[in-house]
Structure 1
Amino acid sequence: MNILIASTSKEPLFQQIKEQIKQHIFSGELKEGDALPSMRVLAKDLKVSVITTKRAYEDLEHEGYLLSAVGKGTFVAGQQPHVLREWQVRELENDLEKVVQEGKRLGLAKSDLIELIDIYYEEDL
């Protein structure tokens, strides 16, 4: 599992870790039952506080992405395909909300945003 921390980002470190772990789950790189590094090992690897990794793991466990077993470790929780898709759609909705807010801040009309979405949707990615 590869996690990159951007110290210059405005996003809190724990949030960066959390989002990247979610992306690894969404992409299938992390699957049900896969063990994650311990909080201490991850903190050492990323050169961050254990409190930071603890917060990321606890949030992910609370949201249902991870399971922790005392003395055994932290593992990816089982995700049924429709539940995983629902999480992915929810993440997309969060991103869209940010895009709409930024568009409004820039003074773009709704039609301009829709046109931009149409352009990007039709592109081969």
Structure 2
Amino acid sequence: MTPSIDVRVARVYDRPRPEDGTRVLVDRLWPRGLKKDAAALDEWCRDVAPSTELRTWYGHDPGRFAEFAERYRGELAEPARAGALASLRETGGTVTLLTATRDLDTSHATVLAATLAERD
């Protein structure tokens, strides 16, 4: 049985909070201006990030978010990403997905959080 998971989303630049649980960076690229030794994270899981092609096509255009989310969920079903997704799900407890994206509501991290929270 898969452990219970409480998924949250935050910006990687925000101060860590005690309630964050396991902090996982889910961006493909390292966040600009953030030193690796200053990043308060437990893991960097690039394999769940959207492909460069999808990220470039989306360009954080809110008008494309619905289609982006659909395409991204399709990518998450691909074997390499599905394995990384399953590994994140196995973390259990509280997991905070970190991203450098400014608008969390239309970010891949929000789509990923909803996907992780779904029960199979």
Provide TM-score, normalisation by structure 2. 0.30
| Structure showing the higher helix proportion among its residues | 1
Structure of greater relative contact order (alpha carbons < 8 Å, 6+ residues apart): 2
| Structure showing the higher strand proportion among its residues | 2
Provide TM-score, normalisation by structure 1. 0.29
Q: For the pair shown, which has the larger CA radius of gyration, 1 or 2?
A: 1
